[in-house]
């Protein structure tokens, strides 16, 4: 390698990459914890060192030039390598203490994790836990979280994933909603029923049709991108929705809506960084979560407990 050909430093390259991804100097400065003038000087220094213009200033926005677009691809690879180095270094710590961030859906975090984490707090009181509630996939490689509970298998080689089990889900409603009909519901009732939506109504309709229900988006009269909020509306009697049996079982006012609709199943994956999985504190939390999620009481076919 021709070391003399490397004419810029990593801090400048990082400043450029974060600015490119954030879209402005002010946003990039906040992301890096720097002042805007400091960040601007680093980007300008990189442009001077390379002899190219990386950004065009258009009003208050920064637009990558052709040279900037090309350079961003290479610097992004450097950033991922630097992230792996940091993760490897942090994985060498053998202390069972420190922060561990767990990513999970808000419903899992609120209704499933408490009983699992209570035992962990007693087992490892020096570990600090942070729960990142998100219904989207957290970017573990950028360390938004150390461990994630997911419903799809990750496909990146830098991540370690363990499939724990398949969890059943059914269509549920509050007793107060079902009592309005004075009888058991069946599939043929579906077109006249109200459903509570989550983030994507079209996607929910697809799932409901997979259950054999003849419904459309017109059946979804209320919804929220927050799983906790949407589920609370179901519990309050606003309509029906799909829910994991293990969550519905924790809500006494909820019961299964149909006897003639078979359950579906979805996978539960536990995911972490390959490097962090060698850390004692990450391994302890990972293994404890795996054991706890495997022991979650699943009452197939039951609407409450």
Q: What is the pLDDT of residue 199?
A: 83
* pLDDT surpassing 80 at residue 71: yes
171-188 mean pLDDT? 92
* pLDDT surpassing 70 at residue 302: no
Q: Residue 217: pLDDT band by 50, 70, 90 thresholds?
A: very high
55-76 mean pLDDT? 83
248-255 mean pLDDT? 93
Q: Residue 301: pLDDT band by 50, 70, 90 thresholds?
A: very low
* Listed ranges 40-49, 118-127, 235-244; the one with the highest mean pLDDT: 235-244
* pLDDT surpassing 70 at residue 87: no
* pLDDT surpassing 50 at residue 108: yes
Nearest-angstrom CA–CA distance, 305 and 296: 13
* pLDDT surpassing 70 at residue 85: no
Report pTM. 0.66
Nearest-angstrom CA–CA distance, 264 and 196: 18
- Greatest extent of the chain over all pairs of C-alpha atoms, in Å: 82
- Assess whether the region 3-90 and the region 98-163+266-295 belong to the same CATH fold: no
Q: What is the pLDDT of residue 70?
A: 87
Query: Under CATH, domain 98-163+266-295 is a member of which superfamily?
Result: Periplasmic binding protein-like II (3.40.190.10)
Least confident of 94-108, 193-207, 281-295: 94-108
Least confident of 166-180, 183-197, 208-222, 262-276: 262-276
Domain ranges of the chain: 3-90, 98-163+266-295, 167-265
The CATH class given to the 167-265 domain equals: alpha beta
Q: What is the pLDDT of residue 69?
A: 87
Q: What is the pLDDT of residue 304?
A: 39
Q: Residue 300: pLDDT band by 50, 70, 90 thresholds?
A: very low
247-254 mean pLDDT? 94
> Cβ neighbours of residue 285 under 8 Å, at least 6 residues apart?
100, 102, 120, 124, 127, 129, 146, 147
Give 154 or 181, the one with higher predicted confidence: 181
Nearest-angstrom CA–CA distance, 305 and 234: 17
* pLDDT surpassing 90 at residue 58: no
| Mean pLDDT estimate for the chain | 84
List residues bridging with 267 in a β-sheet: 166
Nearest-angstrom CA–CA distance, 194 and 189: 10
CATH number of 3-90: 1.10.10.10
């Amino acid at each position: 390698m021709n070391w003399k050909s490397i004419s810029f430093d990593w801090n400048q390259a990082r400043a450029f990459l974060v600015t490119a991804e954030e879209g402005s100097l002010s946003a990039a400065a906040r992301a890096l914890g720097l002042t805007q003038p400091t960040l601007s000087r680093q980007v300008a220094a990189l442009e001077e060192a390379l002899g190219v213009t990386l950004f065009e200033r258009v009003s208050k926005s920064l637009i990558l030039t052709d040279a900037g677009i090309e350079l961003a691809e290479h610097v992004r690879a450097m950033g991922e390598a630097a992230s792996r180095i940091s993760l490897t270094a942090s994985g060498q710590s053998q202390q069972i203490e420190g922060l561990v961030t767990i990513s999970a859906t808000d419903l899992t975090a609120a209704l499933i994790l408490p009983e699992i984490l209570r035992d962990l707090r007693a087992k490892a009181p020096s570990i600090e836990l942070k729960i990142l509630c998100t219904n989207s996939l957290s970017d573990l490689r950028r360390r938004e979280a150390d461990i994630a509970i997911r419903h799809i298998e990750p496909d990146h080689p830098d991540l370690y994933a363990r499939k724990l089990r398949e969890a059943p889900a059914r269509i549920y409603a509050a007793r107060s909603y079902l009592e309005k009909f004075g009888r058991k519901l069946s599939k043929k009732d579906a077109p006249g029923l109200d459903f509570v939506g989550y983030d994507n109504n079209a996607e929910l309709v697809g799932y409901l049709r997979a259950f054999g229900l003849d419904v459309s988006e017109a059946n979804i009269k209320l919804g929220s991108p927050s799983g906790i909020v949407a589920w609370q509306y179901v519990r309050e009697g606003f309509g029906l929705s799909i829910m994991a049996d293990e969550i519905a079982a924790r809500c006494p006012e909820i019961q299964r809506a149909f006897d003639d609709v078979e359950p579906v199943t979805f996978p539960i994956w536990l995911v972490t960084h390959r490097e962090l999985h060698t850390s004692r504190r990450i391994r302890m939390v990972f293994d404890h979560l795996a054991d706890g999620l495997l022991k979650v009481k699943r009452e197939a076919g039951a609407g409450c407990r």
